Structures are given as structure tokens and as C-alpha cells.
Structure 1
Amino acid sequence: MNQKSGYSLKQCKHCNHKIEDPEALFCAQCGRSLCREGHCCSCGKHLQPKANFCDRCGTAVTKPAKKSTSTLYAVDSSSPTKETAPLTGKDDQIKEIIEEQVKRRITEAQIERTLERNFQKEKALEAKLLKYGLRESDWVSITGGNYIMGSPASEIGRFENEQQHEVEIGRFEMLKTPVTFAMFDIFCDEVRHTRPPDDTWGRENRPVINVTYWSATEYCHWLSKRTGNKIRLPTEAEWEFACRAGTSTPFWTGETITTEQANFDGNYTYSGSQKGVSRGQTTPVDQFPANPWGLHDMHGNVWEWCGSVFDENYGGLELLSAETLQDDLRERIVRGGSWHNVPGGIRSAIRNKLLPHYHYLRVGFRIVREVT
């Protein structure tokens, strides 16, 4: 132990140079790797058993190789006959350097092959999604965590069924907009469903409306089979978590909201806000700013079906999906408010309910993708 510096000395196995920095990865004398068995040669992290890549820096793990028994030869460039001789003595260091360079080239090739495979997989997935009106960039990754669901007693426009309580959410991915007519019409045409009416407002990039809970879940099952992913409606707790995006105010925009930020009835105000416009119909799903997590239209435009059954006191049902309960006719949750609602009716905590076989021109849906 070096008493002055407080750490153990070690030597380079190649040149016997003393290494005083316990975190050094390369020898300061000869420049060669100080990689220890079971550790990453790039960042020094201890490797997991049987790991193929370092879980810190992503470097491919070079498996211990058997000592080469082949002989390396040096060419005498000054000899007219280019005579060769086996490397011996100090030349063994050259041999080790050459072997190490070969191993590095193999490692780099492994990384390149892995990156290429991942790229091809992403391209194939992107092509598959485009066929159904989606892109990979349309999904927003939501880490999950704990949050306070519901609203405080002091919140303007609050209802008794918005009791605050803490819930825990797992990781999932959510579509950054409500499902559009363009997406849903592809489904209808393929399975030979009648396309839902758009009330002459237009289709394409507007949110699909006039869909029942059962139609929304059938779309999820269809898209799951086509893409190989588990697609479903969000639970009520997932929906509010995503809407809030880390906020605890009535809206993700803060204490108030304007018709420049969402589509609602601007003839009414909230918490000192100014009156705005009342559009009287849906708007394209990307017309208004996204919340801090990249999600559009979490307030207003259309109510969104959730997978959960409605319970006045939550009762833990806010964490569950009832999509597979075909014989369960209890009311389902819809969230977010619509173009028809006053600002107090599009708050993050606002809850509404609807029988699963009903459909309205104010109700659409959004989907989530499970992360495995």
C-alpha cells in the first residue's frame, strides 16, 4: 500500500510499469489495455455473468480467447530474399500488440453487426406501422412512478369523485395524439366495419369520433395482431398520470388554460382567464401544443375512452383494464373533456362515465403500447 497516496500499486502485465491510478484503463508507459477479467475494457465496469455487452457503455464483451499457438514471423526488409524469422524474446511484446489489435477489430465488427441488425429491425417495424397509419415516433415513452391522483378540495370546479390518493404506475408508451380517422378507417376497411360518421367536420387528421368502447378495444386487438405489440386502452390512472406530466395544477398548462392551448368552449373562463373562441367541433390532433411529455390534446377536443370501469370512489379499478370482460356492461371511464366543455370540464382530474355500447360525437380514444 502506498501510504502517501492511499491506494494499492499494480503493474502493467505488458511492461511491468507501476500503475498508481486505481481507475486507469490503459498503461501510461506502453499504452496497452489494463483490462481485468470480468470487467469492461472500455469503462472498467464489472460485467454481469455471461453478458455480451457492457450495461454501462454498450461495448461488446470480448470472450477470453485461447492463447494462440501459431507463430508470428518478422520479415527482414533489408534482405534481398525477404527472409522471415519467428518473433522471440522482446518481440513477444509485438506479438501481444498484434493479437490485441486483432481482438479489437473483431470487437468493432461485432458492434457494427449488432447495430446493423437493430437498424434493420427498426426499419421493418417502421414499415409495418406506416401500413396502419402510424410511425414509431408517434409513441411517447412514459417511465412511470408514483403520483397523487385526483384533485385537492380547493380546486375550482372539483367534484366529490376526485378524491386524492397516491398510486403507482409502471412504464408504458402512449400514442402522442388521439387515434385519428385516418388510422381508424384503415381498420374499418380491413375488417369490413362501417366507418363512423364525422358529422361533416372532416376525417384524416381529426380524432375519430362516434366509436363505442367495444369498437375502440376491437381496434386495439386488431392493431396488436398486426404489429406484434400489446396495444390497449390506457387505465384511468395511466391516463391522468400522462396528462399531468409531472404537474399538480388543474391543467398541465398551470392554474388556467386558454383556447390557444386547447379546444374547448371559450365562452367560459376559469380562475381569471380571458374568454376565447368556441369552435363547436373537433380540430386536427396536432393543432395545439403538446404537454411536457410530448402528448397532444390531453385537455379538450374529445373525451377519451379508458380501459377502466368507473367507480365513484375509484376502488382500485383505476389501475385495472376491463377490456377482456366482454360480458361486463358497467360504465367505463372517459377522460379529458371535449370541444363542447367549459374549461372546468377539461381539468386533469375530471372524470366522466359512459356505457360501453354508447357512442357520441364528443368521444374518441387514445391507445398505449405495453413495454416488455
Structure 2
Amino acid sequence: MATDSESSRREFLGTLSAGVAAGAIAAPSTATAQSAAPLKIVDFHNHFISPSWSLTNLERMPAAARATQEKINANMQSESALLASIETAGIAARVINSPTAFLENADGNPPPDATRRINDQIAETCAKHKGKLYGLATVDPFSGDDAARELTRAVKELGLRGVFVESAKKDLLLGDKETRPTLKAAADLGVPVFVHPQTDPQLHKRFSRTGRIGLRYARGTINGAALINMLEGGAFDEAPKLHMVVTTLAYGALMLAAGFGDGANIRSDAPALVRRHVYIDTMGLHPALVRASVDLLGADHVLMGTDWPIVEEKSVPDRLAKALAHAGLAPAEQQLVAGGNTLRLLGIA
């Protein structure tokens, strides 16, 4: 029989599914206590690209989707919109990255000098707004030693706090031998690797009839495949100090890796490896995902993230506090997920 608290939580989860996009979450009658101190919220998952670049992603989109994407692109290239979004959301800071996928030509290649210029620009933007913006370097990990050298420069000379990479490139996955120099450099530098979901042309074609949710799931499939490749290929063995962040779109792979480990279908130490090396970005405020992530990885490996400006969350403190409480997190755990883990991972706290 469900307790009053369990019934309240289930009712809240149902309400949240319908109302979270509009921020219309009613306060439940009972729940785990919310943190007594205000949450210090640091959003781990945000994109910003200098307005000096001409974005190319609209050229590859269907006409029906372009109006929405044009607004997203405008915000992504607006420093004032980025800063205003921190105030509108009611959070303390954002961690920003610059995906080169928005700059690729028809062959899927960004300009040859893209990563170096991007890293200089991200560092300059963060330096102007210390305490509100923290930057991740961008590199192409599939370019071998060149990427490792650029990551080292971005961290040691520019002060960037981690590295943003794509999950795959053509037939290669993160964790393949071409990517090992970047992974080793990140581990040696003590900075996290944020592994971003990615569109795979074949999966995109097959999943397109399922709509937006199906296409997001397709992107998450590649994100999850990168995680499995890292585990099975021995990347964590070669870089024992490596910290990797995936999104909740990779949840299927995370469930398999963290919940099993039978030695036949996946290495027997997979659960221990993911709990040691892997963090997860919530990509939203849903308590069910938070709860499941905490159960798999621990409260100290879950990072609050939203995917701004793809998603614009407003009134975050109240909504996040309620979501974390209904996920059953103790006040100290709520502070970790809200921002404490991100600050620690980036070497700030």
C-alpha cells in the first residue's frame, strides 16, 4: 500500500508532466523537505556562439522548423540574451559551450580554425562576466594530438574549465584510439569532458516519422553509444582520473552500464566504472529523472542542466526546489545537484 508521501509524489509527477513546460507546478501537500537555504543553481548545459560567426544549421533544416530555430540561433549569438536569461531563470550562473555543428559546411566540416577561435571567444566572454559564466573549451577529439594540444592551451592559457566534444564523427565513436589523446589530456588536466548528443544521419532518417521526441531519442542513442564504447574499449582504464558528463538522453546506455555488468554482455565492473567516472546532466527539471540518476550514480554525480537556449526554463529556483524535494533528495543532496557538483567538477569549489 502506498504511503501518503508516495501518493503525493505520484500525483506530483503526473501534474509535472503536463505543467512543467509552462512552469505551472502546484505545491504538493507532503514531500521531502526542501533545502532550508536557497539553492545556488549553476546550469551546466548551455550553448553560446560569438556573433562573429555565420551559423549554417538553418540550411539543413526543413522549412517548417526554421522560424523556431531562427529565434534559438539569435539567442545563442546574443551575449545580452545570455546574461538576461540568468536573471530571468533566477539562477546563479551558466556553463557555456560552442558546438561546431552550427558552423559545419555541407560536408559536415567546420572552418579549419574554428576550435581555436571559439576557445578564445568563450574565454573572453567569461572573463567579462566572472561568477556568472564559466566556459568549456571546444575541440574535435577525433583529430588526435592536435585536439589534445588545443585543449591544453585552452585550459592552461585561457582558463577554461572543461571540454565540450561530440559523441561521434562519421564511423568513429568517442573512446576510439583517435580520441585517446584528448581524453588523456582532460584527465591529466583534471577537467571534465562533456559528451554532447549528436544527430546520426541514418538514425535521423529512420526516426523522423516519430516526431521531435523520436529525433531526440536518436541523438541520445549516439550519446549512449559513446558511453558504452568508452567502457568496453578501455578508455577509462587508460585515463583513471577521467570525468565524463553525458545527458539524460543517454539514459538507456547508462541504465545498462550502471545497473548490470554480467561479464558477458558488458564488462563486470561497468557499474563501478560509471559511478566513478560518469556524471549526468538532467536536461530539465523532472524529478523522476533526477531520482533515477541519483539511484544509479549517486547525488554527487548529477548536474542540473537545461540546454539553453534550445530550452528556456523560467522561475527555476521554485520549480527546481519542488522537483528535487519530490525526487526524495535530502537538503544537502539538493544543493549538490543544483550547483555544488558542477562547481566542484569545474574546480571552482
TM class, shorter-chain normalised?
under 0.3
The alignment's TM-score, normalised by the length of structure 2, stands at: 0.24
Q: Which has the higher contact order (CA 8 A, sep 6+)?
A: 2
Q: Which has the larger radius of gyration?
A: 1
